[in-house]
Amino acid sequence: MSKLKSMIPDGPLEEKWNNHKNSVKLVSPANKNKLDIIVVGTGLSGSAAASTLGELGYNVKSFCFQDSPRRAHSVAAQGGMNAAKNYKNDGDSVYRLFKDIIKGGDYRAREAYVYRAAQVSNQSIDQLVAAGVPFAREYSGYLDNRSFGGVQVSRTFYAKGQTGQQCLLGAYSGLNRQIARGKVTMYTRRDMLDVVIVDGKARGIITRNLVSGEIERHSAHAVVLATGGYSTIYYLSTLAVGSNASAAWAAHRKGAFFANPSFVQIHPTSLPQLNDFQAKLTLMSESLRNDGRIWVPKKKGDTRHPNEIKEDERDYYLERRYPAFGNLVPRDVASRAAKERCDAGYGVGETGLSVYLDFSDSIARHGKETIKSRYENLFEMYQKITGIDPYNEPMRIYPAGHYTMGGLWVDYNLMTTIPGLFAIGESNFSDHGANRLGAGSLMQCAGDGYFILPVTIGNYLADEIKTPRISADISEFREAEQAAREKLQNLMAIKGTQTVNSFHRRLGRIMWDYCGMVKNEEGLKKAMKMLAGLKKEFWSDLRIPGTMDEINQELERAVRVADFFELGQLMCQDALSREESCGAHFREESQTPEGETQRIDSRFSYVSAWEYREKDKKHVLHKEELTFENVEIQERSYK
Amino acid sequence: MEFNLKIWRQKDARSQGGFIDYNLKGVSGEMSFLEMIDYLNKTLIEGGEEPVAFEHDCREGICGSCSLYINGRPHGPEDLIATCELRMTRFKDGDTIVIEPWRAKSFPVLKDLIVDRYAFDKIMQAGGFISVNTGAAPEANSIPVSKEAADEAYDAAICIGCGACVAACKNSSAMLFVAAKVSQLSLLPQGKAETAKRARAMVEKMDELGFGSCTNTTACETECPKGISMAHIARLNREFLLAGLKS
Ligand SMILES: Cc1cc2nc3c(=O)[nH]c(=O)nc-3n(C[C@H](O)[C@H](O)[C@H](O)COP(=O)(O)OP(=O)(O)OC[C@H]3O[C@@H](n4cnc5c(N)ncnc54)[C@H](O)[C@@H]3O)c2cc1C
Ligand code: SF4
Ligand code: FES
């Protein structure tokens, strides 16, 4: 336990961040010019960080695997971004936003981090507006807000259904400005393969140039990971298919602890799987639950057309089970309830793995035009993909892997357990506990990148001003490069018969069945055995055509899947060790008589931080106890 | 369903490319176009051949990665979608489908169907931003923006940077892409101060990078998956003219 120093400043909750800002060490402009920082990832968090650090005078090297920083997965966020502006005068405040996130996360996040995230949220909105993000406006010309997922105030800023795209492009434009100034050097189409540690500190990374295949060394005084989430471990998820855990996993293998790896949010309203070749699951914004009613037939295996099933033959199971919140219960509750109905044989569609989301009542009440004005682009998207017109027939939806609350463990300075290695955005575990509220990730990403990291990294770099530019031509870099090359060579050398995707699909299925929405001891143990077996098969029967010295998309995927096998084991181990249910983590053994999550605070009020040890040795669990001094711990009831 | 695919294969940027024919059976109508290629690639790999390289990531029409020229049209036969949103139901059993990369001098082919579009980022670096430092932003509601202006700016801002407009244009002009950004930022009060400088810098960069000039053929607007309007080009021209007058 001694290894986890959370570095939370003293003082009352509201004062901690200010106190910290007032006491951190500073780096003078002249010295910033001599310091290099690597930022891996150009999503909202990475772009905001790289541009701000460049603006401050540091020399930044920015990396992404796509052909352009603008394509980072943040681009896909739909619904919005939270801030505590209280523009609606509905009683919102920094404290309330803080409290909602803590409660939403089911009391498994640290108070001080969450409070700070809420504090800087308003500045992030100011920043993005100034950068030209066209957030929705009222007729008065002032910014509009809407309410989102399980809260009672309107604090979500949005740009129609494309908030992530607009926020990312705002941050990307700032990044471009610094690239033009020469303060940020952009490296696109690079896969980060490893972190390089010199004398115990992160001093650089090894990348593969995805066009030439060259294995490259990049050095710096500090390294920041902003590499996003890993729900793609399920193969089918709402994430862009290139999203991966490899950068974080490389850091983990070099000593960065991985926190709460099994905390994954399963989103309730995604399109169901339509065919066996499907590459991803498209998210339908959860705002649809404001006007859509979710139901399944009361009769098992009822294959009639939904419009022929009469009102009294329908089971509106969310309204039945949760009269207070009804269709608006939080994501994890809605997801599990859908799974429960489908597992019990009431699911609809060919596979029986979907439920109806029905707008007919809302259309009857508000008129088609009103519903259209609210959801036009979503309805169009649905029709485009399924060929079904949701104005006349209910949508079919099913839960899908979505957001990973787990990630690299970081202290209050957003530094991992490796000195000089920082993690921001979805790649860290910091703010959302066991469940993330809607519109909370963009908020965290912007806050981490624009306002928190640039302060805290200075505190670290202040002690590095005498360190000359790090040479990449030293043994640590050479060895890391060699190890990375060997890993790729080993993959290429398997020369088996099966494609990477076929393995990924099977791996994803194991994770989905046993380490997804619902988990139990027997299943988790079984999954660990199955993963080990499949991993063996992967390493003996994988086929990657082509060579390492060219564009080789199969090789790129293979690297990711190889890491997923190891991460999958850790997720199961983490889920196994947490014998309680909390937020999105549902252990069947720990439920209330009504089938809801049963937290066990006396035993599990901690963050699980896992330490990697030599190959094949078991991970070591470090527990960071959580204390709550500013909120009252409650049962998370939505009844 | 069964299809005859004619696909552009090219080893790398230095090599010559050419069309290769593939016959693909067992395609289901529920597949997306890219899932159809995934399926083709599976059969190629299992048969000991190299898969077709193509760009994709979000698979829901928002990241701008996918970029296939299908039967003579960027993003294929359907209007207002990106390649990844195209479904196989759009084709008839037995159809021949020709699949090529974007063709433009400024977008060199890197392999098979992958082109290098970094020129777009370079144009953005030349001026596609508002020069506001982190922390220097005023309170968000201190700059009211009329709903009309905000909505119009949004309509320009949804460009996904895919490059279909360039691929569609016989001059390989990037005018629609550039205009969308200039227009978005000049419609907003926050961006007005730099409009003239921005328009000039971006257009000059576009010329320098070898994109052709705009002769108003409207092909870009027709093929743009996001329906970006040519009206933005008119606005850009106005701003550019003003920029010229001021310099
Ligand atoms: C469909 C969808 C809708 C969502 N809607 C919302 C919403 O409405 N509101 C909200 O708050 N949140 C939403 N989220 C969540 C939110 O979008 C993400 O959590 C957030 O954008 C993550 O941003 P990031 O900066 O951490 O990383 P990302 O944006 O994921 O960026 C990751 C970056 O890391 C790079 N990278 C990754 N691995 C490597 C590697 N190995 N080597 C080199 N580079 C690498 C990538 O190139 C990329 O640049 C949504 C998520 C999804 C999937
Ligand atoms: S203007 Fe349209 S076609 Fe051109 S890059 Fe933008 S979205 Fe693509
Ligand atoms: S894959 Fe992202 S737009 Fe098509």
A633 three-class SS: coil
CA distance A298 to A290: 23
> Do the strands A620-625 and B3-9 form a parallel or antiparallel pair, or are they unpaired?
unpaired
Edge-first strand listing for the sheet containing A264-270: A264-270, A395-404, A355-358, A293-297, A314-315
Residue type at A340 in one-letter notation? E
pLDDT for residue A150: 65
pLDDT 10s digits, A122-171 = 999 999 999 999 999 999 999 999 887 667 899 999 998 899 999 999 99
- Range of lowest pLDDT (A169-183, A294-308, A380-394): A380-394
The mean pLDDT value for B110-138 works out to: 98
The structure tokens listed for A577 are 């060790």
Q: E strand or H helix at A168, and its extent?
A: helix A163-181
Percent of chain A at pLDDT above 70?
Answer: 99
Distance A436 CA to ligand 1 centre (A): 14
Angle at A76 between CA A70 and CA A79, to 5 degrees: 130
Closest C-alpha to ligand 1, atom 10: A439
Q: Which ligand has the shortest distance to the CA of B54?
A: 3
CA distance B102 to B100: 7
Distance B57 CA to ligand 3 centre (A): 6
Distance A466 CA to ligand 2 centre (A): 47
Residue whose C-alpha is closest to residue A190's, from B118, B236, B62:
B118
List phi, psi (to 5°) of A36.
-110, 140
Residue whose C-alpha is closest to residue A586's, from A331, A210, A204, A272:
A331
Q: Residue A53 in contact with residue A37, Cβ under 8 Å? A: yes
Domains annotated on chain B, with CATH: 3-110 (3.10.20.30), 117-246 (1.10.1060.10)
A105 three-class SS: coil
The structure tokens listed for B1 are 């369903």
Query: Is any Cβ of chain B less than 8 angstroms from the Cβ of A139?
Result: yes
Q: Which ligand has the shortest distance to the CA of B211?
A: 2
The structure tokens listed for B178 are 């550039």
CA distance B218 to B158: 19
The mean pLDDT value for B225-247 works out to: 86
Q: Residue B24 in contact with residue B40, Cβ under 8 Å? A: yes
The mean pLDDT value for B172-185 works out to: 97
User: With 50 as the cut, is the pLDDT of residue B165 above it?
Assistant: yes
Distances (CA, A) of B147 to A138, A141, B35, B150: 6, 6, 40, 5
The structure tokens listed for A137 are 């406006």
Query: Is any Cβ of chain B less than 8 angstroms from the Cβ of A75?
Result: yes
The structure tokens listed for A433 are 């506990």
Query: Is any Cβ of chain B less than 8 angstroms from the Cβ of A549?
Result: no
Least CA distance to B47: which residue of chain A?
A497
In ligand 2, the atom with minimum distance to the C-alpha of B180 is 1
Active site residue A331: yes
What is chain B's mean pLDDT, rounded? 96
Please identify which residue in the block is written with the tokens 């060790």. A577
State if residue A60 touches ligand 1 by the CB under 6 angstroms criterion: no
A524 three-class SS: helix
CA distance A336 to A81: 25
Cβ-nearest to A141 among B120, B125, B144: B144
Check residue A412 and report its DSSP letter: T
The mean pLDDT value for B89-101 works out to: 97
The structure tokens listed for B52 are 């077709």
**What does the DSSP assignment read for A193-254?**
EEEEEETTEEEEEEEEETTT--EEEEE-SEEEE-----GGGGSSBSS-TT--SHHHHHHHHT
**Which residue out of B35, B58, B70, B80 has the highest number of ligand 3 atoms within 8 Å of its CB and is therefore the one to mutate?**
B58
CA distance A554 to A567: 20
Determine the residue among A126, A162, A544 to mutate to test chain B binding: the one whose Cβ has the most chain B Cβ atoms within 10 Å: A126
User: With 50 as the cut, is the pLDDT of residue A1 above it?
Assistant: no
Cα atoms found within 13 Å of the Cα of residue A190, Cβ hemisphere only? 27
Q: Residue B37 in contact with residue B31, Cβ under 8 Å? A: no
Q: Give chain A's radius of gyration (CA, Å).
A: 24
Q: How confident is the model at residue B46 (pLDDT cuts 50, 70, 90)?
A: very high
Q: Residue B22 in contact with residue B39, Cβ under 8 Å? A: no
Residue whose C-alpha is closest to residue A195's, from A173, A166, A217:
A217
Which residues' Cβ are closer than 6 Å to ligand 2?
B 159-165, 176-177, 180, 224-226, 228
Complex prediction ipTM: 0.98
Closest C-alpha to ligand 1, atom 21: A74
Q: Which ligand has the shortest distance to the CA of B55?
A: 3
Domains annotated on chain A, with CATH: 13-266+408-464 (3.50.50.60), 267-402 (3.90.700.10), 476-625 (1.20.58.100)
pLDDT 10s digits, A194-222 = 999 999 999 999 999 999 999 999 999 99
Query: Is any Cβ of chain B less than 8 angstroms from the Cβ of A312?
Result: no
Angle at A415 between CA A413 and CA A419, to 5 degrees: 125
pLDDT for residue B246: 65
pLDDT 10s digits, A421-467 = 999 999 999 999 999 998 999 999 999 999 999 999 999 999 999 99
The mean pLDDT value for A236-254 works out to: 97
List phi, psi (to 5°) of B100.
-130, 165
User: With 80 as the cut, is the pLDDT of residue A477 above it?
Assistant: yes
Q: How confident is the model at residue A88 (pLDDT cuts 50, 70, 90)?
A: very high
Cα distance from B77 to chain A (closest Cα, Å)?
14
Contacts of B185 in chain A (CB under 8 A): 132
In ligand 2, the atom with minimum distance to the C-alpha of B164 is 3
Q: Active site residue: A71, A203, A331, A560, which one?
A: A331
B127 three-class SS: helix
Determine the residue among B37, B63, B83 to mutate to test chain A binding: the one whose Cβ has the most chain A Cβ atoms within 10 Å: B63
Distance A143 CA to ligand 1 centre (A): 25
The structure tokens listed for B216 are 């108003």
pLDDT for residue B150: 95
A473 three-class SS: coil
CB atoms within 10 A of CB A632: 7
Percent of chain B at pLDDT above 70?
Answer: 99
pLDDT for residue A114: 98
pLDDT 10s digits, B16-40 = 999 999 999 999 988 999 999 999 9
Distances (CA, A) of B112 to A553, B8, B172: 12, 6, 20
Q: Residue B3 in contact with residue B91, Cβ under 8 Å? A: yes
pLDDT for residue A3: 73
pLDDT 10s digits, A503-549 = 999 999 999 999 999 999 999 999 999 999 999 999 999 999 999 99
Cβ-nearest to A71 among B53, B64, B191: B64
**Which residue out of A263, A284, A442 has the highest number of ligand 1 atoms within 8 Å of its CB and is therefore the one to mutate?**
A442
CA distance A315 to A342: 12
pLDDT for residue B247: 59
Query: Is any Cβ of chain B less than 8 angstroms from the Cβ of A209?
Result: no
Check residue A451 and report its DSSP letter: I
The structure tokens listed for A250 are 């490389």
Check residue B137 and report its DSSP letter: P
> Do the strands B3-9 and B96-100 form a parallel or antiparallel pair, or are they unpaired?
parallel
In ligand 3, the atom with minimum distance to the C-alpha of B58 is 2
CA distance A239 to A222: 28
CA distance A25 to A4: 22
Percent of chain A at pLDDT above 90?
Answer: 89
What is chain A's mean pLDDT, rounded? 95
CA distance B96 to B91: 9
Please identify which residue in the block is written with the tokens 């949010």. A265
Cα atoms found within 13 Å of the Cα of residue A88, Cβ hemisphere only? 17
Q: Judge: B129–A162 Cβ closer than 8 Å, yes or no.
A: no
Torsion angle, CA of A104/A107/A113/A117, rounded to 10 degrees?
10
The structure tokens listed for A604 are 């599990």
Q: Who contacts A111 (Cβ-Cβ below 8 Å, separation ≥6)?
A: A13, A98, A102, A627, A628, A629, A630, A631
A45 three-class SS: helix
